[in-house]
Structure 1
Amino acid sequence: MLSKRHFFATIFAAGLTLSAGIAAAHDKLNVVTTTGMIGDAVKEVGGDLVEVRTLMGPGVDPHAYRQTRSDIVAMANADLVLWHGLYLEAQMEGFLGELAGQTSVVAVAEQLPRNLLIGHDDYDDKFDPHVWMNPNLWALVVANVRDALIVQQPAHEEDFRANADAHLQDVQALAGYASNVLGSVPPESRVLLTAHDAFNYFGSAYGFEVMGIQGISTESEAGLQRISELVDMLVERNIRAVFVESSVSDRNIRALIEGAAAAGHTVEIGGELFSDAMGAADTYEGTYLGMIDHNVTVISRALGGEAPERGMAEMLN
């Protein structure tokens, strides 16, 4: 663990400066989050009592993300830093561990009961981090965000609890919508093939067989043998739709489609899904509810199910 003196000396050595407000009282709780999903939860629970900065925006892959110089300053100046954990931000773990000695840092998914988690493909002692794909699991993370805010500002506990309860009702409604529309997909069509294994919790919750070209982390490589095996599977099982992800290159998906075409089998892209990042800022898809509503609606419609074109809230673009 770095000493406080050494930690800040490292920042200054990098040519960075800290805000003059670091020691000043804030009217709002200054919260920095790693992912957009956590940032959205903070906004919903914190409301007007928080100011939120999210490090990873739309289309950003958290598995490979490394903190920038400005990120370091933002986190050092924050009242609270919230990150996911479960090895999602693999390249940032060392820094976040050092930062925890200097300010309040909480890994909001790391606290989930282990019996609810899916094991990691590549590491015996780690778990699949993509818990937001199951709204019922994400509700537990929202509760952890609420509790972290209460620790920082206990005077506003009543506000945080009320906001969290309202948001969790929306998350519960989303879970119900997902169950209904995904249940309309014919059983033989419930195969979800994407760029990497981000949808295992989704598959477990809604009865889909999930396949990723790459593993749980986008840092894993997809070899020619893996592509060939999946092409054979597409042909053999007459699967007609695969999905790209907003935060992962579509190169491997297009290789699959080309391989299937060479074998005389037509496969189409069923749509773009939000896996490790939400949609564009200031859009419905740029919220957690919109992200999952989009995914559920696109998957259901592409695989033969029944779902309204504009989703649960009639707000999809």
Structure 2
Amino acid sequence: MSGLMKGLWGIALLSLILVLGACSQTEESDGKSESEKITVVTTIAQIGEPLSVIGGDYVQVESLMGPSIDPHLYNPTQSDINKLDSGDVIFYSGLHLEANMVDIFESISKSKPVLALGDALSEDDLLKDKGGAVDPHIWFDIDLWKQGLGAAVEELKEYLPEHADYFEKNKQDYFAKLDELKEDAEKLAQIPEDQRILVTAHDAFGYFGRMNDLEVIGLQGLSTEDEIGISDINHTIEMIIEYHVPAIFVESSINQASINAVIEGAVSDGVEVALGGELYSDAMGEAGTEEGTYIGMYRHNIDTIYDALIGDVE
């Protein structure tokens, strides 16, 4: 081989090495970028959707329970188990909301971070029923939910400390919107005091009622596992008649038969009560809709309750 040919071959070989090296660096860079985006698995969308906003570019969030799913009765599928196994960090609400998944969370917590947002709250801030059971519907108290989400964000910071400042900024921006949402709820104070009675299918709105000065009546107890008896329906009808309740509400994740029974019972007693609309309690709306976001879901409830209960104020 001539000197010229050897030179050309050397140049070609060097070029090939440089190209392959560049490709290798690109692949490593892409791999590193992908590895930084962790998979967060949550039970309910009330946790998942806010964390997808706060986590931004560095998290991929999957929520196991979608619209119309009742977490009190939910039994995980094999697909759910696979998602939990493949997730990097797991968040659930706790306080016995996901009653059928407790053993699974305890098992998974031995190998990866698992956090119940309810564990971040002071027991003094939690509501309990007459039997001493804790009310798990903590996302309806915006201040408490900020505490729970804040604990989840700290877990993300610990997992990806290099992005801690990013997560903190996004959290502060999101919490500012939650403060605005809380201000929006202040319009419920315009409802006449004797009409601030919220009747729903089950007792999911205790924290909402406490925050917004509404008396809450749920046909079922804190869990949808509780049975509804004739006495529960009759007691609710008596309350409607006594306080002239103008409207009662169904919930998106619960069969509305019990609410229909109350309306029919009231009518048979000569009292007209309207169906005030559908509220989101244990589940949010469809992904991609306003009600499929925590803020949009909460605002929908505010507006629906306000419109149905405001009455004619002179």
TM-score tier by shorter-chain length is 0.7 to 0.9
For the residues of structure 2 that align with 1:72 and 1:121, how far apart are their CA atoms?
Answer: 35
Cα contact 2:203–2:222 (8 A) shared by 1: yes
Partner of residue 107, structure 1: 116
Partner of residue 282, structure 1: 288
Match of 1:269, SS state, is strand
For the residues of structure 1 that align with 2:167 and 2:74, how far apart are their CA atoms?
Answer: 30
Match of 1:109, SS state, is helix
Cα contact 1:41–1:145 (8 A) shared by 2: no
Cα contact 1:182–1:305 (8 A) shared by 2: no
Q: Post-superposition shift, 1:305?
A: 6.5
Cα contact 2:195–2:246 (8 A) shared by 1: no
TM-superposition CA deviations, 1:289-315 (whole Å, max 9, x none): 001000011101110169xxxxxxxxx
Q: Post-superposition shift, 1:121?
A: 4.5
For the residues of structure 1 that align with 2:161 and 2:281, how far apart are their CA atoms?
Answer: 34
Partner of residue 11, structure 1: none
Residue segments in structure 2 that go unaligned for 5+ positions in a row: 1-33
Match of 1:64, SS state, is coil
Match of 1:136, SS state, is helix
2:250 equivalent to 1:244:
yes
Cα contact 2:201–2:256 (8 A) shared by 1: yes
Match of 1:256, SS state, is helix
Count residues with an aligned counterpart. Answer: 279
Cα contact 1:121–1:216 (8 A) shared by 2: no
Q: Greater shift after overlay, 94-103 or 194-203? A: 94-103
Q: RMSD between aligned alpha carbons?
A: 1.3
For the residues of structure 2 that align with 1:26 and 1:73, how far apart are their CA atoms?
Answer: 19
Percent identity, aligned pairs only, is 40
Partner of residue 233, structure 1: 239
Partner of residue 175, structure 2: 168
- Give the alignment of 1:71-220 within 5 angstroms: 71-122=80-131, 124=132, 126-179=133-186, 181-220=187-226
Match of 1:61, SS state, is coil
Cα contact 1:184–1:305 (8 A) shared by 2: no
TM-superposition CA deviations, 1:276-295 (whole Å, max 9, x none): 01111101110000010000
For the residues of structure 2 that align with 1:200 and 1:88, how far apart are their CA atoms?
Answer: 14
- Give the alignment of 1:6-85 within 5 angstroms: 26-85=35-94
Partner of residue 29, structure 2: none
Match of 1:162, SS state, is helix
Cα contact 2:219–2:232 (8 A) shared by 1: yes
Cα contact 2:251–2:280 (8 A) shared by 1: yes
TM-superposition CA deviations, 1:61-102 (whole Å, max 9, x none): 011111110000110111101111111101111111111112
Q: Post-superposition shift, 1:185?
A: 0.6
Cα contact 1:67–1:92 (8 A) shared by 2: yes
Cα contact 1:121–1:215 (8 A) shared by 2: no
Cα contact 2:195–2:244 (8 A) shared by 1: no
The letter for the 1-side match of 2:221 is G
Mark the structure with the bigger radius of gyration: 2
Partner of residue 278, structure 2: 272
More helix by share: 2
